[in-house]
Amino acid sequence: MMMSIVLSSASSVAVNNAVNWDRCRFVTRKASPLERIGHICNKAKLLASCCSETMPRASSSSSVTSADYERAKEVWICTENKQVMTAAVERGWNTFLFSSQNQGLANEWSSLALINPLFVEEGDILDVEKIRVAVVRKVLSPEDVQKLHPESEQAQIVVIDFADWQVIPAENIVATFQGSQKTVFAISRNLSEAQSFLEALEHGLGGVVLKVEDVNSVLDLKAYFDRREEVKSLLSLEKVVITGVHTAGMGDRVCVDLCCLMKPGEGLLVGSFARGLFLVHSECMESNYISSRPFRVNAGPVHAYVAVPGGRTCYLSELKAGKEVIVVDQRGRQRTAVVGRVKIESRPLILVEAKIDLDSEIHYAILLQNTETVALVSPHPGDGLKSPAAIPVTSLKVGDEVVLRTQGGARHTGIEIQEFIMER
């Protein structure tokens, strides 16, 4: 017996001119799977909103340069576990795929929840009217990959069943089907495989079939989509005025090296107080004394907070290879990035203090290494030397303006909570 749940989610990728700085971002939404089937059967059209941005175009991180990025990402879940079915329905995923011999289970589950049944029969996936909506293709060897051609497939959806899961065949299939109107799925047996398929060659496959009997696998995949949805929204950044710059002695500072490149205006949100995180610029700018390191942010001392996915913070001392952080630019556009390495070394520090309102008692602070390569992002666009995108801490003076992210100050294990707190 084979069962599946379809999740439609809008895919949005931010592309900056000729360089792809952002990564594919997936947005989950509750969409009727019959919309998808109706499109395939030429009975109805897929709602345009499936692939549209969820926020106004004016707030979009950048223009989309390829229609492939706007295709809906879909997830099918194969299981015989009733708990998996329940968990999926509770999250709005209600299209199920059954084997043709298991009409009884389809009827039973239909009596428990509002579902839309599809059926597998001899390599075809059929709707309730016995119309083919997808085909299954087994890949047992490199020759099987070479035999796959978009024009030879009779169905709009092609489900690839890899006998031996590997990333390279998935990349080859993405390359083969790019530009075609076909949607390609791959059968995955855990979140790691599903994520690799969805991100293969950056564009990724059109969907995955998560073949599991464990509820946690469904929850993990949903959390993955939620994280991709989060980075679509613009962060609200505020302009603050520098009120003090002081040398502060020695301290253990953290250099965060990412597995991606940053461009001018981008960096990490860091601060001594959780209530306000400064946008610390990357080392992507050229210098007379040191080469550009666009993968690095010299972020601050070990005690400082840094923004991570999920609206959370963690201490810089907690970062390590494989963890994710949020990369933000001066307009508030954000994306996730993987930490490749963390370097902690003893260096001279400088204390920077700032306020949003000079008459307010609320102030914000950050300690940074006292060196020319460490800079805070300016709220101004920047046009070179006269108006730089970032100001080195060695050049900061009272009255300068930089960018800050304000948020709740009270935190428990990095999660914002409502309680009294005083930080100074």
| Sequence-ordered list of residues with C-beta below 8 angstroms from that of 168, at least 6 positions apart, any chain | none
C-alpha span between 320 and 421 (Å, rounded): 28
Highest mean pLDDT among 68-77, 96-105, 177-186, 253-262: 253-262
Confidence (pLDDT) at 227: 77
Q: What is the 3-state secondary structure (H, E, C) of 346-376?
A: EEEEEEEEEECCCCCCCCEEEEEECCCCCEE
DSSP 8-state class, residue 72 = P
Confidence (pLDDT) at 248: 92
Structure token digits, residue 394: 């060695």
Q: Which amino acid is at 140?
A: L
Higher pLDDT, 258 or 383: 258
Mean pLDDT, residues 268-283 taken together = 94
Q: Is the pLDDT of residue 337 over 90?
A: yes
Quickly state the pLDDT bin for 420 (edges 50, 70, 90): low
Highest mean pLDDT among 22-36, 37-51, 305-319, 338-352: 338-352
Question: Which residues share a beta bridge with 276?
Answer: 273, 406
What number of residues does the chain have?
A: 424
Mean pLDDT, residues 27-36 taken together = 39
Quickly state the pLDDT bin for 414 (edges 50, 70, 90): low
Q: Is the pLDDT of residue 224 over 90?
A: no
**Residue 24 contacts residue 198 (beta carbons within 8 Å):** yes
Mean pLDDT, residues 105-116 taken together = 84
Quickly state the pLDDT bin for 151 (edges 50, 70, 90): confident
C-alpha span between 290 and 287 (Å, rounded): 5
Question: Which residues share a beta bridge with 78?
Answer: 211
Structure token digits, residue 194: 């599903």
Structure token digits, residue 369: 């290494």
Q: What is the mean pLDDT of the chain?
A: 77
CA angle centred on 341, ends 354 and 302, rounded to 5°: 40
Question: Which residues share a beta bridge with 326?
Answer: 336
Nearest to 104, CA basis, from 78, 80, 131: 80
Strand, helix or coil at 193? helix
Residue 9 φ/ψ, nearest 5 degrees: -150, 135
Residue 377 φ/ψ, nearest 5 degrees: -75, 135
Q: Is the pLDDT of residue 314 over 50?
A: yes
Mean pLDDT, residues 124-130 taken together = 85
Confidence (pLDDT) at 165: 63
Alpha helix stretches (DSSP H) within 62-190: 82-90, 103-112, 142-146, 167-177
Confidence (pLDDT) at 32: 42
Confidence (pLDDT) at 359: 85
Q: Which amino acid is at 225?
A: F
Higher pLDDT, 273 or 42: 273
Strand, helix or coil at 262? coil
Q: What percent of the chain has pLDDT over 90?
A: 31
**Strand 207-211 versus strand 73-78 pairing type:** parallel
Radius of gyration of the chain (CA): 25
